[in-house]
Amino acid sequence: MKVISPGIRLWAGITLTFFVAAGVITFARYMRVADSWDGMLMLVFIVLALLLVYGLIIYFLIRPGAAFFRSTFFKSLASAIATAAIAAGFIHYLRFIPSPEASALLSKVVATLLVVGGFSLYFLFLYYIWWRSFRLH
């Protein structure tokens, strides 16, 4: 395995910081004009997931290695990210279904398929990183 130099890792971290900062600022701006508590909560979960993914990548850039992916820290952080993301997706779904944008039946069917698929992926992910690892030990 080729080792990436610390300078390149630093450069990658700085580059990622620009994109994450733009995303956080955008969603934080939407928080200011959120029209309901559930919209605000959805945006908070999105920002939380975004910041956790950023932290995870920065941590991996600082301390690269395959052992990191087997650590309890990684599993906990990845679970928190997935939970924040699925919570934001479910809140978005609950807000979308009664909205005028979902007037077509096909829109509601597609949204429901995406939510069911998202929950299935969420539990598959949790099974893979937690229960499967306990069974292997």
Q: Encode the chain (137 residues) as per-residue pLDDT tens digits.
A: 466 788 888 888 899 899 899 888 888 888 887 788 888 888 888 889 889 889 888 888 888 777 877 888 888 988 998 999 899 889 989 998 998 888 888 888 988 998 999 899 899 888 888 886 666 55
Burial of 5 (0-12, 13-18, 19+ CB in 10 A): exposed
Please tell me the predicted confidence (pLDDT) of residue 5.
83
d(CA 30, CA 55): 22
Total number of domains constituting the chain: 1
Assigned domain for 1 exists:
no
Domain containing residue 120: 6-136
Please tell me the predicted confidence (pLDDT) of residue 130.
83
User: DSSP label at 97?
Assistant: T
Assigned domain for 64 exists:
yes
Contact present, 82 and 53 (Cβ < 8 Å): no
Please tell me the predicted confidence (pLDDT) of residue 33.
79
User: DSSP label at 91?
Assistant: H
Assigned domain for 40 exists:
yes
d(CA 95, CA 115): 13
Write down the pTM of the prediction: 0.70
Please tell me the predicted confidence (pLDDT) of residue 137.
55
Contact present, 58 and 13 (Cβ < 8 Å): yes
